[in-house]
Amino acid sequence: MRSQEKSETSIVQKLDLDGYIGQFKHFLARDKSVAMQGDINQHYRYIQALSSVQFPPPPNVPVLDKELARIHLQAVLSLEEIYAFVKMISYFNTLHSQHFPEPLHAWIHAIEIPDEIREVMAYFTHEGELNAERDPELYSLERAIKQNKSEIKETLYKLAHSSKLQPYLVDTQVHFNGGEETLLVRGGFNHAIKASVVARSTAGFFYIIPQSITHLKEKESALLSHKEEIIYKYCKRFSAVFFAWERFLAFINKEYDRFDHYQARVSFARAREYEFVLPSKKKGIKLHDFAHPAIENPVPISINFSKRIMLVTGVNAGGKTMLLKSMLSAVYLSKYLLPFRCDAAKTEVGHYRHIEAVIDDPQSVKNDISTFAGRMQEFATLFSKEDAIVGVDEIELGTDSDEAASLFRVMLDALAYKGISFVVTTHHKRLAALMAADEEVELIAALYDEERRVPTYTFLQGSIGKSYAFETAQRYGIPVSIVAKAKEVYGEDKENLNELIEKSTSLERELRLKIAKVDEELHSVERSKEKLKAEEFRLQESHRKALATLENRYNAATKKAREALKVQESTEGRRLLNVAHQHKALKQKEVKPSEPIPLKEGDKVKYRSHKAELLTLHGSDATITVDGLKMRVPLSQLKRSGDVPLQSTQSKPKESKVTVEKTGAAVSVKLLGMYADEALDTIDKFLSDALVNGLHEVQIIHGTGGGVLSKLVAEYLKKHPKIAKFYKMPGNLGITVVEL
């Protein structure tokens, strides 16, 4: 465990995350490793649930491992040690009253506090003292101690204001020295008062305790001694209870650490506006707007590493090392579910068992190890590891570039074959050239602003970057003449190669910017298309509702007309029927029905705004299924899924008006004169249509006659799963009202 913690500390320092970890630990209720034991997916669910609610912060509690070991040995704990357990358990008691979502609610409420432990908790005040009101003897002692202190204070006050002692007093205050109440006096005070000297001030004055309060001091000492005896008695009693519930205390101590891990992460994320990224099972790193915590004003990184090796080249001081540290930091932070700044919706980080960073110069005079030899030692340890991600900074450090390029090319291949991923920074153009053709190598170039002569701290994938050593030297103050001469020594052919690399990088960057612009325009067109589709659907729904309203008015008017014909003069009935026909005339202003579409059984079709499947054909009608509901509809109202319905070929005069499709939903149906089979088919189609169009109440007109149709309708409606209620309309009108 210590070896693991030491390794974690080392990688944290190498990745410049020590400041971040220090800030995070301020949110913990007690110091501990940032690693959490157990299923990381389960931890993530609990953290997400806790992130959605407010909760009280946990109290600071010391690490209680030693105290648990002492309980196991039946030792007597001090009052402070017992209260540490009480604070911890009381916090879970507080959490029980919180409204947490699952799975937090089930976890917290599964923790049951034993009654004996609750009894111990009841003896403590919020300040960690014993509640004197629960023990008469302790209560009397507390009052006696308080009274005695008051008498000491009053006696000292009188002495400090007495005329006899006034010439020797430095001031009239009561001074605490070594926990004792004293007076500060000058030399010669013994002529005015008998007292004991406790200490001497830096100015040569004396702190004294007058003999007149000596008996009060002795009384106070006796009272405090008696109080300590009572406290020890309770400590012994409480420690015995803790021994009986040792396993519960060990459990609650572990659960407190678990909740502390969760709350610290949630509180830290809220305070910094960070986000959580759950590691994925597949390898690779995809960062979007990632910001390394160590950088105060970082340029966000967006990069995709889906291969075995990432080779980063380019400008000096252009952020290559920070890119390497950012990639490894994202893996480390997500591995331990520590929040960081990024676009979590677009960020994906794979899980790696080991995280290694070959960054520092390993040269050691003490151990007689050169830089290159130290690097070889670090690489040698990697051959015993699997499932790891390794960052290597300046891989060519410490040896001949051509030899190193060949050596590292072979070693990286061999280690990648073992399942180790690498993020490598280099200025070796030979190494970059050797590895560029490998499909498992991701080339990354650090970009440079030629006009401003500064690095941009941005990166381009799929390209090799120029080092810009001469430009960097000039930017940091090297004379221009020296830089110019260095270029001559470097050679014209190599400089031409650098220019080609630079032009290639610039062209690729411009191409990617243009592609990004085209993608954005394409997305804009797609969004406009979706808006038009939504508007079309809204207009269709509006028209459907309008037609349904007209249909309802028509049926209501015809109903009133029939009632009027039965109870009033025929002239009134005719007037109401005219009103009904006026509504019917409004409804009939629509497009003529389409020509029947040549369809066959089993076709995927569209009925209004619903997707359906054609089951059978019945002349001009068809039976379809919509969301598991079988219904019979006119064939003219169907169209093949994805096709525009065939329109009538009859020519029409051009008119300046808008026409819309009829919904076909009616609020009543007539069965008069029908046979049983025909009536049942009609009812089935009618109710299906009403359900699809969202009607809540319809009428079935079957007449009175011999009651055969009435009984048939009632039997059918009893078995229909979508019927809420049905009843016959009063007045023996031969109408059954159905509520859907």
pLDDT over 80 at 323, yes or no: yes
Contact assessment for residue 303 and residue 322, using Cβ atoms and an 8 Å cutoff: no
Question: What does the pLDDT read at residue 312?
Answer: 87
What is the rounded distance in angstroms from the CA atom of residue 21 to the CA atom of residue 333?
10
Go through the chain and tell me how many residues it has. Answer: 740
Q: Between residues 475 and 425, which one has the greater pLDDT?
A: 425
Q: Between residues 6 and 148, which one has the greater pLDDT?
A: 148
Contact assessment for residue 290 and residue 299, using Cβ atoms and an 8 Å cutoff: no
Q: Which of 115-119, 142-146, 483-487, 556-560 has the lowest mean pLDDT?
A: 483-487
pLDDT over 90 at 691, yes or no: no
Q: Give the pLDDT band (50/70/90) at residue 297.
A: confident
4 HSE (CA, 13 A, CB side): 8
Question: What does the pLDDT read at residue 402?
Answer: 67
Q: Between residues 246 and 492, which one has the greater pLDDT?
A: 246
Q: Which of 169-173, 313-317, 614-618 has the lowest mean pLDDT?
A: 313-317
Q: Between residues 577 and 134, which one has the greater pLDDT?
A: 134
pLDDT over 50 at 671, yes or no: yes
Q: Give the pLDDT band (50/70/90) at residue 409.
A: confident
Q: Which one, of 638, 633, 625, lies nearest residue 596 by Cα?
A: 638
Most confident of 270-279, 304-313, 432-441, 629-638: 270-279
Contact assessment for residue 509 and residue 450, using Cβ atoms and an 8 Å cutoff: no
Contacting residues for 539 by C-beta, under 8 A, at least 6 apart: 660
Question: What does the pLDDT read at residue 734?
Answer: 81
pLDDT over 70 at 472, yes or no: no
Question: What does the pLDDT read at residue 477?
Answer: 66
Going by their DSSP bridges, the two strands 441-449 and 420-425 should be labelled as unpaired
Question: What does the pLDDT read at residue 471?
Answer: 57
Distance of CA 473 to the CA centre of its chain: 45
What is the rounded distance in angstroms from the CA atom of residue 342 to the CA atom of residue 277?
9
What is the rounded distance in angstroms from the CA atom of residue 737 to the CA atom of residue 740?
10
Q: Which of 10-24, 473-487, 570-584, 673-687 has the lowest mean pLDDT?
A: 570-584
Q: What is the mean pLDDT of residues 423-432?
A: 78
Question: What does the pLDDT read at residue 651?
Answer: 43
Question: What does the pLDDT read at residue 473?
Answer: 58
pLDDT over 60 at 497, yes or no: no
Q: What pLDDT digit, counting tens, does each position of 622-633 carry?
A: 888 877 777 788
Over pLDDT 90: what percentage of the chain?
33
Give the dihedral sign, CA 687/692/693/694: positive
DSSP state of 130: B
Task: Give the containing element (helix H, strand E) for 402.
Answer: helix 401-417
What is the rounded distance in angstroms from the CA atom of residue 216 to the CA atom of residue 214?
5
pLDDT over 90 at 231, yes or no: yes
Question: What does the pLDDT read at residue 654?
Answer: 43
Residue whose entry in the numeric block shows the structure tokens 């690693």: 35
Q: Phi first, then psi: what are they for 376, rounded to 5°? A: -65, -35
Question: What does the pLDDT read at residue 540?
Answer: 84
Question: What does the pLDDT read at residue 85?
Answer: 96
Question: What does the pLDDT read at residue 388?
Answer: 92
Contact assessment for residue 736 and residue 713, using Cβ atoms and an 8 Å cutoff: yes
Q: Which one, of 470, 467, 443, lies nearest residue 310 by Cα?
A: 443
Indicate yes or no: pTM above 0.85. no
Q: Which CB contacts under 8 angstroms, 24+ apart, belong to 632-637?
A: 632/681, 632/684, 632/685, 632/688, 633/607, 633/664, 633/685, 633/688, 633/689, 634/593, 634/664, 635/596, 635/597, 635/599, 636/593, 636/594, 636/595, 636/596, 636/597, 637/593, 637/607, 637/608, 637/664
Contacting residues for 134 by C-beta, under 8 A, at least 6 apart: 122, 123
Q: What pLDDT digit, counting tens, does each position of 116-154 carry?
A: 999 999 999 999 999 998 999 999 999 999 999 999 889
What is the rounded distance in angstroms from the CA atom of residue 687 to the CA atom of residue 664?
12
Q: What is the mean pLDDT of residues 173-179?
A: 86
Q: Which of 74-78, 167-171, 238-242 has the lowest mean pLDDT?
A: 167-171
Q: Between residues 691 and 199, which one has the greater pLDDT?
A: 199
Q: Which one, of 189, 181, 123, lies nearest residue 152 by Cα?
A: 181
Question: What does the pLDDT read at residue 241?
Answer: 96
Question: What does the pLDDT read at residue 346?
Answer: 94
Distance of CA 198 to the CA centre of its chain: 62
Question: What does the pLDDT read at residue 485?
Answer: 66
Contacting residues for 393 by C-beta, under 8 A, at least 6 apart: 320, 321, 324, 357, 358, 359, 425
Question: What does the pLDDT read at residue 518?
Answer: 85
Q: Which of 240-249, 278-287, 413-422, 482-491 has the lowest mean pLDDT?
A: 482-491
Give the dihedral sign, CA 669/674/675/678: negative
Q: Between residues 516 and 335, which one has the greater pLDDT?
A: 335
Question: What does the pLDDT read at residue 366?
Answer: 40
Q: Which of 175-189, 398-412, 583-597 has the lowest mean pLDDT?
A: 583-597
For residue 617, give both structure tokens. 């054909």
Question: What does the pLDDT read at residue 655?
Answer: 43
For residue 55, give both structure tokens. 């909760």
Q: Between residues 588 and 319, which one has the greater pLDDT?
A: 319
Output the average pLDDT for the chain.
81
3-class secondary-structure state, position 2: helix
Q: Between residues 404 and 490, which one has the greater pLDDT?
A: 404
Contact assessment for residue 359 and residue 393, using Cβ atoms and an 8 Å cutoff: yes
Task: Give the containing element (helix H, strand E) for 289.
Answer: strand 285-290
Q: Between residues 564 and 391, which one has the greater pLDDT?
A: 391
Output the CA–CA distances (angstroms, integers) from residue 441 to 388, 409, 423, 505, in the order listed: 16, 11, 10, 17
Most confident of 8-17, 165-174, 269-278, 682-691: 269-278
Q: Between residues 94 and 178, which one has the greater pLDDT?
A: 94
pLDDT over 60 at 408, yes or no: yes
pLDDT over 60 at 45, yes or no: yes
Q: What is the mean pLDDT of residues 79-101?
A: 94
pLDDT over 60 at 660, yes or no: no
Contact assessment for residue 697 and residue 703, using Cβ atoms and an 8 Å cutoff: no
Question: What does the pLDDT read at residue 690?
Answer: 84
pLDDT over 50 at 646, yes or no: no
Question: What does the pLDDT read at residue 569?
Answer: 45
Question: What does the pLDDT read at residue 585?
Answer: 57
Question: What does the pLDDT read at residue 644?
Answer: 46
Question: What does the pLDDT read at residue 235?
Answer: 96
Q: Phi first, then psi: what are they for 283, rounded to 5°? A: -80, 165
For residue 169, give both structure tokens. 């007093």
